[in-house]
Structure 1
């Protein structure tokens, strides 16, 4: 029961185990007369010893001990009933029902279908054995209903955890795609511009100081834009709510085209913001941005 709080599992296991130790001690000290004679006392003392050992183990490893406690305590109940001892209260055995229901619920949540089915079947059998002492079929049915509710809760938790894992996986995929898109459309675009402008400055800057200055200014602006994109990317990785990049629209195309012109491209544009709807404006911006990036990378003398 990995997700059951340590304190809850420890207290639950320890209380039931101590109760069994006390019960076995009472049976031995009161010299219960049974057909098993001395063997019964030996078995009772052995069970008490096992319970004491498990109580110590439960403090360090509460999860698996709950299963063992359910099995051992049910065994004690079976031993008492087989030997003919009749407890003075009909509540005897209900602690085992509770533990078996908890164990079955946890197995339905964590185990593979085959293991969960086997565990639930074993719990159902153990609960039926406890129910037999009530001598009414209705009692067994009621106890099985308790088991069914516990198992259903385990299955529901399992489905909820699975749905959460699927949602988290989809979210991670979307985040990776958004980061890749930011790297490709934003940072790669600016870096390409820097490379092209630097190459142009090296080729012609020595003969034309004014053009060299213009190229260096453009490189500075592209570098600043790249740093801004990197900061947005880092902030988005640090904070779940931070956007990777502001949503660009048609009104931002002028700046994009002007940046391309500073890099040496001859660009002619006829932009009518009223034609493009806000829904598709970001896509239009990305298409133009990608086109200008490809021209810088691969084109020669293209306008």
Structure 2
């Protein structure tokens, strides 16, 4: 995101520089003298504000409008070429677009009768258009080209800002839906987790009563076992509830567990024309016992394999092989899914976002992207803690 923003800003700076230079040359040839100087100063000032708009877009839009208004008044009083110039109009359009897209109203703005900052920024841009039109009226009976240019710039900025704001809102809604689905899964699985541990505690308590009648000396051992099981249950449930409470870090441990990744692979390879799957499943291999892994880890590994294979079906139908590897090293479990299909950036979708939520919630890290030799790879490292 940062590199893309820097590239766009560099492009904007280059366009502004070329526009300012072209306008200066045109004004020097038609008006002569230093008639181009005011347009250059105003254009550079508003352009710098446009390039630095990211931190406070609405404030910079208002400041840019104020500078443009000052340029219009100065040009009118000194009989210089009409303002705002093309570069100023472009910079103001960028400022208004950014303000409308990014600014959100404070919680008390509407309650106390204040206007959202985005509306203030757009209103200031409209004031520039109106003042530019009023100041050019004495020079002609119709609309001046500068007024038309400023009006078109403002209308384009408002339309672009509203469109981008709507797109961002739709994306946030989609992300919220992904996170909500993950949280619903977590809530259901929390029920399973609680039922599992509570059932174990009840059975141990019943066994302790029987032991107490037969051999009172063994009661302490039975109570110690109940205490240990209760502590384990509280630790597991506290962790799951913590993930459920934090909407930005959702996870979903499953108990007694989802189907094995091996079952996913069997279903995947059973499809007609499916690529070959070469799997090294480590603790999830058929001959191994994955119950020593925490439920959250088992569930997350299953979801990673599921999402990886789904990505292959959707975006890499030309892939010939898929490599799946699960390795455990001390307190970390590494899952890698790689294919040799075409590497496409659009593979990063909402399913991958939901998967990343689970991995990050477990204190792990996830990387997904094209492979150097071609294809696509997903790699997740998950901390294994009881």
Could you tell me the TM-score, scaled by structure 1's length? 0.49
Q: Which has the higher contact order (CA 8 A, sep 6+)?
A: 1
Could you tell me the TM-score, scaled by structure 2's length? 0.40
Higher helix share: 1
